[in-house]
Structure 1
Amino acid sequence: MPRTSWMIVAGALTVSAAILNVSPAFADKPVTVLDTPISTIVTAIPIDFDRDNPDRKEFGKLIFRGGLNLFAKSRHFGGYSGLILDSSGTTLLAVSDAGSWLRANLDYDGRRPKGLSDVVLGPILGKNGKPLRSDPERDSEAMTLAGGDTRQGTALVGFERQHRILRYPFTLKSFGPPNGAVPIPRDAKGMNANRGIEALAQINVGRLKGSLVAFSERLLDRNGNLRGWLIGGPTPGPTVLKRIDGFDITDAAPLPGGGIVVLERRFRYSDGIKMRVRRIGASELRRGVVIAGEILLEAHDNLNIDNMEAIAAHRSAAGETVITLMSDDNFSPLQRTLIMQFALPGAQSAAAD
């Protein structure tokens, strides 16, 4: 497609994404919910990050490994806002803001993502053991692994609208019911109904072992920076991420060595949608301070992005930190479900910890 034509389409996609993000009433979530897990087939179309220059692989401090545009016939496929990958990067678990989960194998052609196989969709269960059904209770926006792996373990899931963080045991065939809750910090009560907990990262190594890092999408302090919390662990308390150029937080993930990566997004009608990946080293992740972190990647919609809402990280056999991003299509035909992978070279990966 000529660049001019593509920019017109991209503009429409951007406006659609923004409208759907600002007002959930515009999102066409499935009216019905899954009662039991189902298998489905996902078609994957390879994409480049730079459409006009597909040979370009370096973006900021990251190396583009590959991307996929995903399609499935099930109306329950989409809306993914939280993502976990196993330590090898070959199986994934995601949660949707329509109260469902996705489990699949992430297949590769060498180091490039190739597609999803053995795909299963299922309902997130409530305390009564039944699927979450109403929009206010099923809006899951963040997830982190608290124990086990992507096939069987325990996840912490953050919900907005009815703000809460619940502890979910899961297996290959079920997700819940929850068996506990993580208390939301008292000063988080000022969160907007549609801008609640968007990022959770459980730290399981290093000096912060046992800490849960949580950020809302846009809860600002008096200086306009983004408020977050270290929950549990050795040094619990509030923390602050420096807000740069008006970006909001959409997700976070633990790094293999104890730091985190943060995914951010900004929309303005004047210049479209942008995304950013920021790294916060373990030594910088402290309570009571303003954290700046390090920008690894910033992308405008002239590159191949959509409504990027989920992030995960794992370490490759070669020692690189691999960062996986996933988009939330808001169940809109004008948006896409994307998976994209980037690598942080070995030396920089070590410095990240």
Structure 2
Amino acid sequence: MLVPALAGLAAISIFGLGALLVAPALADKPADALTAPITTPVTAIPITFDRDEPERTAFGKLVFRGGLNLFGKSRHFGGFSGIALDASGTTLLAVSDAGTWMRAKLDYDGRKLKALQNVVLGPILGHDGKPLKTDAERDSEGLALATGDTRQGAAFVSFEREQRIMRYPFTATRFGPPDRAVPLPKESKRMSANRGIEAVALIRAGRLKGTIVAFSERLTDRAGNLKGWLIGGRGADTITLRRLGGFDITDAAGLPDGGIVLLERRFRYSEGVKMRIRRIAATELKPGALIEGETLLEAHDNLNIDNMEAITATRSAAGETILTLMSDDNFSPLQRSLIMQFALPADKRVAAEPRRSAN
């Protein structure tokens, strides 16, 4: 996540210096935790990715399929950092860095996102069956389905501050308690409190099927590249991502062919926020490897982005790979909760997804 002191900086070109000075005070998570699931209305305003050329759809190697600016009526709506979709692309599950989960139905107008309906928010539960309450324990950042779908199953959730990855059974009305922790390598203890495990994904096919991929936001090696791990039955093996242009990692998702996609962010006072999506082929995911991957999209905030923190991948009925992204608004009125979708063109789509084994 962006630290509170930077929460309003993504909006500098719109709100100016005066807004920046008050942004830290406005970027507060709800102090109290939800005690039970609630429903909330959400207003969805369609957005284009290019404000100056709204009809434009081609960006990098992706095709923009529509997006929404979301306004929830509950003060617990926001901070979304990890997401998953069911196979149909219509039921969304998300986790917030305020220790809450969200389930919602995505409505479409043809292939474009139209609305977010049937929105339910609820608390992520701790080992004691009670909602996570303190900032240190509730900062959930990444989400990867392990079994089932977005209505019922189990998911791996990564947390920073209190650095951990936990496996959470869930139903339509309950998320947790966790049934086990995923062992982390010793070097993960070098992660700072707010630069922890931002990304968690499950490899969905091939020789590493069932392996968890985890990346810190900004844990680097001596060359300045970003460190991550392949976590499986024999423990954790280190992998390293070549750090390009000073970007940090904010999320990851498994692809049908056994590869992954990475969502990255760069922030500087002088230039605002940037976003990048990289695809990592299954053949690159090897213990000890230095990985670079393929850049699918890189965007500056002259395009319609915010603090993009969550990504997931699904297959459309036509066989396309659809990437769905969400932004973390840091519970600040100067930032937005966006959801948007991009498609990989037919000649670049990834292979069909084999059936995933239970984890």
Class of the TM-score when normalised by the shorter of the 2 chains: over 0.9
Residue 157 of structure 1: SS of its match in structure 2? strand
Q: Cα offset for 1:236? A: 4.6
CA–CA distance in 2 between the matches of 1:344 and 1:13? 40
Closer, same or farther: CA 16–280 of 1 in aligned 2, 3 Å: farther
Q: Which amino acid letter does the alignment assign opposite residue 29 of structure 2?
A: K
- 1:149 Cα deviation from its structure 2 partner: 0.3
DSSP 3-state at the match of 2:52 = coil
Counterpart CA distance in 2 for 1:229 and 1:14 is 39
Contact kept? 2:256, 2:351, Cα under 8 Å: no
In the other structure, the counterpart of 1:9 is 14
Match of 1:250 in 2: 250
Instruction: Give the Cα separation in 1 of the matches to 2:202 and 2:210.
Output: 7
Cα shift at 1:250: 0.3
- Partner residue of 1:50? 50
Residues 345 and 271 of structure 1: is their aligned pair in 2 closer, same or farther, counting only changes over 3 Å?
same
**Within 2, Cα distance between the matches of 1:276 and 1:261?**
10
1:350 aligned residue? 350
Are residues 52 and 13 of structure 1, via their aligned partners in 2, closer, same or farther at CA, if it must alter by over 3 Å?
farther
Gaps of at least 5 residues in structure 2 are: 1-10, 354-359
Q: Percent identity?
A: 68
Higher mean C-alpha displacement, 233-242 vs 186-195: 233-242
> Aligned partners of 1:108, 1:16: CA distance in 2, in Å?
39
Q: Say if 1:258 and 1:282, in contact at 8 Å, map to a contact too.
A: yes
SS at match of 1:309: strand
Matched, 1:220 2:220: yes
What is the rounded CA distance, in whole Å, between the counterparts of 2:277 and 2:170 in structure 1?
29
Q: 1:7 to 1:331 in 2, by over 3 A?
A: closer
Q: Would you say the 8 A contact 1:306–1:338 is kept in 2?
A: yes
The TM-score with structure 1 as length reference comes to 0.93
Residue in 2 that maps onto 1:168: 168
Which of 44-53 and 184-193 deviates more? 184-193
- Offset of 1:350 from its aligned partner? 3.1
CA contact (8 A) 1:13 1:335 kept: no
CA spacing shift, 1:237–1:95, aligned 2, 3 Å? same
Gaps of 5+ in 1: 1-5
**Do the aligned residues in 2 keep the contact of 1:10 with 1:301 (CA within 8 Å)?**
no
Distance (whole Å) between structure 1 residues aligned to residue 190 and residue 17 of structure 2: 33
* Structure 1 position 286, deviation (Å): 1.3
Amino acid at match of 2:295: I
Q: CA RMSD in A?
A: 2.1
- 1:149-208: CA deviations, max 9, x gaps? 000000111111111111100000000011110011111110011011000001131111
| Secondary structure of the corresponding residue to residue 334 of structure 2 | coil
Question: Which residues in structure 2 correspond to 1:138-177 (within 5 Å)?
Answer: 138-177=138-177
Instruction: Give the C-alpha shift of residue 318 in structure 1.
Output: 1.2
CA distance in 2 between counterparts of 1:316 and 1:16 reads: 44
**Counterpart of 2:349 in 1: which secondary structure?**
helix
Q: Which amino acid aligns with 1:139?
A: D
Is the contact made by 1:208 and 1:234 (CA closer than 8 Å) also made in structure 2? Answer: no
**Could you say if the C-alpha distance between residues 40 and 259 of structure 1 is closer, same or farther in structure 2, counting changes exceeding 3 Å?**
same
Paired position in structure 2 for 1:199: 199
Report the Cα offset of residue 235 of structure 1.
8.7
